[in-house]
Amino acid sequence: MRASLTRTVMTIKSQLVGTTTILRVHGTMTAAAGERGLRDVIRQAVADGVRTVIVNMQDATSIDSSGVSDLASGHMILANNAGSLKLCCLSKKLRDVFVVTRLDKVFDIHETEAAAVASAEPSPHQPGS
């Protein structure tokens, strides 16, 4: 009897909220997973004029070095275009990966999507303060 390996394919759903793109990642974050990689999706968002990208990792099951590389590349693409990459909704397992590798100091990580969106919005100017 042959054992078959089931690999969860990564899918990415994109939503534009104001001038921010939210990418909701489902499955395993690897370079080979999915038809269109995270790096390509971020690059296209920047080409479309987006300057803030939030990657919601609530449904991401795992990440490998290629997935981390895609996030780092996205971070650099946005930084080079006066933008920012924010991560949110990391499971304990994924957060531990970022803490152990000290990437939690590199990426702007938020507990919730709402907190990430709020951090992307310009603060309102209050006259007289």
Would you call 66 exposed, middle or buried from its count of C-beta atoms within 10 A (0-12, 13-18, 19+)?
Answer: middle
Least confident of 15-24, 87-96, 103-112, 120-129: 120-129
pLDDT at 7: 52
Tell whether the model's pLDDT for residue 35 goes beyond 60.
no
Residue 30 pLDDT: 80
pTM of the complete model: 0.85
- How far is 9 from 30, CA to CA, in rounded Å? 9
SS3 content of the chain, % helix, strand, coil (to 5): 35, 30, 35
Q: Was domain 11-118 assigned CATH 3.40.50.10900?
A: no
Residue 78 tokens, joined: 């946005």
